[in-house]
Amino acid sequence: MLKDNEILGLVEKVKIKGREILARVDTGARRCSIDKKLANELKLGPVIGNRKYRSAHGKSIRPVVIEEIELKGKKLIVKINLSDRREMKYNFLVGREALKKGFLIDPSR
List the pLDDT tens digit at each of the 109 positions of the chain: 445 558 999 999 999 999 999 999 999 999 999 999 999 999 999 999 999 887 777 888 999 999 999 999 999 999 999 999 999 999 999 999 999 878 989 888 8
Cα angle for residues 49, 38, 71 (degrees, 5° grid): 85
pLDDT for 33: 96
Q: In whole angstroms, what is the distance from residue 14 CA to residue 23 CA?
A: 6
Q: What are the sequence ranges of the domains in the chain?
A: 9-103
Q: In whole angstroms, what is the distance from residue 46 CA to residue 60 CA?
A: 20
pLDDT for 8: 94
Q: Is 107 helix (H, G, I), strand (E, B) or coil?
A: coil
pLDDT for 5: 52
- Which class would CATH give 9-103? mainly beta
Closest CA to 26 of 39, 41, 2, 8: 8
Alpha carbon distances (Å) from 44 to 21, 85, 104: 15, 16, 27
Can you say how many angstroms the Cα of residue 86 is from the centroid of all Cα atoms in its chain?
Answer: 15
pLDDT for 45: 92
